[in-house]
Structures are given as structure tokens and as C-alpha cells.
């Protein structure tokens, strides 16, 4: 048995869960109850990791404020979760696709067609970071349930060499990924109901943490007004209706006036709010918003 195999065998995420020792003998109701019981422990594990999560997000926010990007690196399930989180940023916050994106071991085709061997290719991890032109302003978050995935570790090591802020997110304690990253986040979820299937509790934990990363970083960039997504792209009926409701609420005007203004501005929520709340022309509202760095609150409340 190789050293890597021994390390893997000793991981908590590879251990058997006592609740599911007779999984194949259990009824559907019993399995569902066991899985639900296990899933309920994940938020607590994330909560215990908040002292590690918070400073990493603060540092990532500061880098993005100076023009940096948020880049996820993963293989298998963690990579797919990263792709999902990154892909939600453009419609939610009107960000360009290159601002928050994911590097997936095995390339884009691995998102739908598993190429699990790609996770062992350390050289490919280095090459992917170089191809993405990672630099000192960027934040690179490596995600690996085990914390020992060669592709991810090599990518994080290379990103750190290039001066990027590096974060290692794993679901075990004292991992190799934690050792090579500047910020270590270890969400210890323990054994899975289906032994070694880290798409379960570990995957849920990773999604919760990445939700925090992308959402909080964007909030800190002024992409919201309170809890409202004022930078969303209203590309369908639901989102257009949400835009109308936001403008009406913030500017304190009837829905009809909000919708009319949005049509005039091409559904720019922030410009519409400024026009209605401050009695500005579209050009003046656009200028005022730009002077506030695109942040609605200072544009709206400032002198």
C-alpha cells in the first residue's frame, strides 16, 4: 500500500458510518431517516469552521476590490459544485464570467462526463493555473473533500507561487491542502452514510461554504442594497418582476412607475431607483452611480 493510499484509508470521510452499517438491509424510510439525520449535522460543522471561513472571505473581498478575481479549483464532485456556484454569479450579480469561475480537473467535459483519473494529474493542475493567468490580485480556492487531491494541491501551490491569495477547503483535519494554502478551511463532517461517497455530507458542506464566498464577496463589492439583488440580470419574467418589485420598494413608488422606469433604462435597477428616488434624469443617475463606484446606497443617500 502506497503512502497516499494509507493516508486516504485513515481519513474520516473514508470511514464507515455506524448508523448505516446494515444499509442494504434497511427500508427506504430507514435509509432516508439516516441520511436526513446525517445531513442535519453539516450546518454545525460549517459553524465550527467559521473562524477559518471569515478571514478568508475578508481577504478575498479585499483582493477583488482591488481588481482581482475569485477562482475555484476542484476535481470530481467538488469541481462540479464549484462550477455551479461560479455560474450563478453573472445572472445574480451581473458580473462578467471571468470574474468568478471554476477550474475543473479534466476540463469542461468532466462536468458531465466523469474523468476521475484527472484528479491525480498534478502537472495539469499547474498548467491550468498558468493558463488562467493567475496573479497577485486573484483569490484561488482549492476544494477537495479528502484534502489530498494532487490536481488541486498542485494548483494551489502554483497559485501561491504566483502571489495569489490561496484558500484550501477540505472536509478532513490536518490535510495536505491545508498545509499548502495560505488560508485553511476544514469542515469536518465525519463519515458518510454511504462510505466514502463525499458527494453527500462533504458536498453539502462545500456548497454551503462556497455560497458564503460568492455571496459575501459580492455584497462587499456593493452588489446588493440591503438583501436585495439590485445588480441582477432580469433575463426572464420572474427576474423582471423581481426588478420591478425592488425598484418600487426602494424608491417607494407604485409598481407602474417602477416598471416604466425600468423599461426606459433597459431594466437597470440601480439607475431606475436613482431616477425615481432622487428625481434625476437617466444620464444624471448614471453619472451619480458611477461616482459612487456602482454602489447604490452611497449614490442614493449621499449629498
As annotated, the active-site residues are: 88, 119
Is 184 strand, coil or helix? strand
Helix (H, G, I), strand (E, B) or coil at 298: helix
Task: Kindly state the greatest CA–CA separation across the chain.
Answer: 73
- The answer to whether the beta carbons of residues 102 and 86 sit under 8 Å apart is yes
Place of cell 454545525: 44
Walk across the sheet containing 165-170 and list its strands: 100-104, 70-74, 139-143, 165-170, 183-186
Closest CA to 189 of 8, 37, 43, 7: 43
Q: Give the 3-state secondary structure of 88-125.
A: CHHHHHCCCCCCEEEEECCCHHHHCCCCHHHHHCHHHH
Q: At which residue does the C-alpha cell 499548502 appear?
A: 180
Nearest residue to 189 via CA among 142, 154, 147:
147
Measured between alpha carbons, how far is residue 50 from residues 45, 56, 141 in Å?
9, 10, 16
Using an 8 Å Cβ cutoff, are 73 and 141 in contact? yes
Q: Which cell goes with 211? A: 455560497
All three cell numbers of 197, joined, read 461517497
Residues 45 and 54: their CA atoms lie apart, in Å, by 14
CA 51 to chain centre: 18
Q: Which residues contact 111 (CB under 8 A, 6 or more apart)?
A: 79, 80, 83, 104
Amino acid at each position: 500500500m502506497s503512502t497516499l493510499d494509507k493516508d486516504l484509508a485513515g481519513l474520516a470521510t473514508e470511514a464507515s458510518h455506524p448508523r448505516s452499517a446494515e444499509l442494504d438491509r434497511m427500508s427506504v424510510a430507514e435509509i432516508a431517516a439516516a441520511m436526513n439525520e446525517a445531513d442535519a449535522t453539516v450546518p454545525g460543522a460549517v459553524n465550527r469552521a467559521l473562524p477559518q471561513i471569515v478571514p478568508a472571505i475578508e481577504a478575498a473581498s479585499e483582493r477583488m476590490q482591488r481588481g482581482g478575481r475569485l477562482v475555484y479549483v476542484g476535481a470530481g464532485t467538488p469541481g462540479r459544485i464549484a462550477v455551479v456556484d461560479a455560474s450563478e454569479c453573472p445572472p445574480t450579480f451581473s458580473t462578467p464570467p471571468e470574474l468568478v469561475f471554476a477550474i475543473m480537473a479534466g476540463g469542461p467535459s468532466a462536468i458531465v462526463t466523469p474523468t476521475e483519473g484527472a484528479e491525480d494529474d498534478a502537472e495539469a493542475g499547474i498548467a491550468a493555473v498558468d493558463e488562467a493567468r493567475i496573479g497577485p490580485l486573484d483569490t484561488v480556492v482549492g476544494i477537495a473533500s479528502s484534502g489530498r487531491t494532487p490536481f488541486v494541491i498542485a494548483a494551489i501551490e502554483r497559485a501561491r507561487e504566483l502571489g495569489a491569495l490561496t484558500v484550501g477547503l477540505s472536509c478532513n483535519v490536518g490535510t495536505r491542502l491545508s498545509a499548502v494554502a495560505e488560508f485553511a478551511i476544514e469542515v469536518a463532517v465525519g463519515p458518510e452514510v454511504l462510505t466514502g461517497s463525499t458527494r453527500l455530507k462533504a458536498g453539502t458542506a462545500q456548497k454551503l461554504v462556497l455560497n458564503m464566498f460568492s455571496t459575501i464577496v459580492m455584497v462587499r463589492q456593493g452588489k446588493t442594497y440591503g438583501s436585495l439583488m439590485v445588480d441582477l440580470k432580469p433575463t426572464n419574467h420572474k427576474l423582471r418582476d423581481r426588478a420591478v418589485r425592488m425598484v418600487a420598494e426602494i424608491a417607494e413608488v407604485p409598481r407602474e412607475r417602477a416598471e416604466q422606469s425600468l423599461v426606459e433604462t433597459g431594466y437597470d435597477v440601480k439607475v431606475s431607483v436613482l431616477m425615481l428616488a432622487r428625481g434625476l434624469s437617466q444620464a444624471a443617475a448614471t453619472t451619480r452611480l458611477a461616482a459612487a463606484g456602482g454602489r447604490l446606497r452611497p449614490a442614493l443617500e449621499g449629498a
